[in-house]
Amino acid sequence: MSVTLDLAAPLARSVAPPRPATASLEKPHLVGMDRDALSEALRGVGVPEKQLRMRTSQIWHWLYVRGASDFAAMRNVSRDLREKLDAAFTVARPEIVEEQISTDGTRKWLLRYPSRGAGRPVEVETVYIPEEGRGTLCVSSQVGCTLTCTFCHTGTQRLVRNLTPDDLVGQVMVARDRLGDFPAQDTPDGAIVPAEGRLVSNVVMMGMGEPLYNYDNVRQALAVVSDGDGLAISRRRITLSTSGVVPMIRPTGEEMGVGLAISLHAVRDELRDELVPINRKYPLKDLLEACRTYPGASNARRITFEYVMLKGVNDSLADARELVRLLKGIPAKINLIPFNPWPGSAYECSDWDQIERFAALVNEAGYASPIRTPRGRDILAACGQLKSESERLRKKERLAADAAA
């Protein structure tokens, strides 16, 4: 599911982005490959064995430190090698179909990727959320979703395909491009970005799709994103959110080493079966046990439990008390998410007073329970609102969602 920023009001801007070189339909992508695969690719175009290591580092540096999106930019690579690489591979960004900028600085990009067997090109949304000391990028893992969480807009869009490592890393590259976050780029005038530090400092796998149903690609992409000689976003600043694919939770901690977030939303199986239907397969007891034993979880590195506040559904104080009881023994914090309506959704957001009472009870029990400020509502970038162009809302529907918010 996806993240949030607030926009009380109107006037989100939709800007026409430059049309970057569109990723080729035929050529394999170098972005997203691990070093071994990159090395193999270079060997394949004739780089001599004794140069392989040096050339791999060189290309890696161009891609991830300098942000090159074209072989021609790689000036210290011989023309001959650049031409061979260009003939065999691509390093182009995904096409930006649309860029929307919320009044609070949240940015949402609609990106188009090659079909890769899905029948036609596919589209996903990526959201950037600037805050005081950080800039968080909410990355999508699938086009659509097989799960059908009833409060989530993405859940109404059937799964089209899994995103590949280059699709996934491409989302980070586009964000850094558009924010001017590579050397030799300027941040656009008026852009809202963190006052200091890196512009994209954190990544959350909370966009469209269930990342643990695309495990191998997500693992490979996050290894590239966290590589210290490249994009260098520390694993401590990466959080993966799952609806509860229990068997993959431990491997996530062991192999990816990233922070864990759980899309919880209900404290009784009966209700969670309805809100987050994967609960029928992996009920609360199993999910919480997997959290209790998550590798690397500690008081300094708590598991985040996301809890969307649905009026009259899951927001009673009895629910809050049960939540506290369930989380006993787990280093946890709870993100309370005011429900972000979307056209056709069956729920209403809890009253603010009730959200505060719920938060106070959880807080008194010793759990941090921030109420997530809705961000980007005016561009439907808020939590649970993402959906791709193929089924995008008409403007009229967007205004209706705004009015309901």
Which residue, 241 or 350, is less far from ligand SF4 as judged by CB?
241
To the question of whether residue 217 is assigned a binding role by annotation, the answer is no
Which residue, 5 or 101, is less far from ligand SF4 as judged by CB?
5
Backbone φ and ψ for 113, nearest 5 degrees, come out as -125, 160
Which residue, 81 or 383, is less far from ligand SF4 as judged by CB?
383
Q: Which residues bind ligand SF4 (CB under 6 A)?
A: 1, 145, 147-149, 152, 154-155, 208-210, 243, 263
Partners of 100 in the β-ladder: 14, 108
To the question of whether residue 149 is assigned a binding role by annotation, the answer is yes
Report how far Cα 394 is from the mean position of its chain's Cα atoms.
24
To the question of whether residue 265 is assigned a binding role by annotation, the answer is yes
To the question of whether residue 349 is assigned a binding role by annotation, the answer is no
Q: What is the dihedral of CA 142, 403, 104, 302, to 10 degrees?
A: -50
Partners of 107 in the β-ladder: 101, 128
CB of 205 to ligand SF4, least distance (A): 10
Beta pairing class for 238-242 and 259-263: parallel
Which residue, 90 or 243, is less far from ligand SF4 as judged by CB?
243
CB of 213 to ligand SF4, least distance (A): 8
Q: Which tokens hold the place of 321?
A: 């008390």
To the question of whether residue 263 is assigned a binding role by annotation, the answer is yes
Give catalytic residue positions. Answer: 125, 383
Rounded to 5 degrees, what angle do the CA atoms 397, 399, 401 make? Answer: 70
Residue least distant from ligand SF4 (Cβ): 155
**What element of type H or E holds 239?**
strand 238-242
To the question of whether residue 152 is assigned a binding role by annotation, the answer is yes
Beta pairing class for 202-205 and 135-138: parallel
Which residue, 201 or 279, is less far from ligand SF4 as judged by CB?
279
CB of 271 to ligand SF4, least distance (A): 15
Q: Find out whether 171 and 140 touch, Cβ atoms under 8 Å.
A: yes
CB of 159 to ligand SF4, least distance (A): 9
User: What residues have CB less than 8 Å from 25, skipping those under 6 apart?
Assistant: 114, 115
Q: Find out whether 199 and 231 touch, Cβ atoms under 8 Å.
A: no
* Amino acid identity for residue 48 in this structure: P
Q: Where are the beta strands (DSSP E) in 102-184?
A: 107-113, 122-130, 135-138, 142-143, 161-162
CB of 154 to ligand SF4, least distance (A): 4
To the question of whether residue 241 is assigned a binding role by annotation, the answer is yes
Give the number of other Cβ atoms within 10 Å of residue 257's Cβ.
16
Which residue, 1 or 47, is less far from ligand SF4 as judged by CB?
1
SS3 63: helix
CB of 287 to ligand SF4, least distance (A): 13
Q: Find out whether 98 and 110 touch, Cβ atoms under 8 Å.
A: yes
Q: Which residues are annotated as a binding site for [4Fe-4S] cluster?
A: 145, 149, 152
Q: Which residues are annotated as a binding site for S-adenosyl-L-methionine?
A: 209-210, 241, 263-265, 340
Q: Which residues are annotated as a binding site?
A: 145, 149, 152, 209-210, 241, 263-265, 340
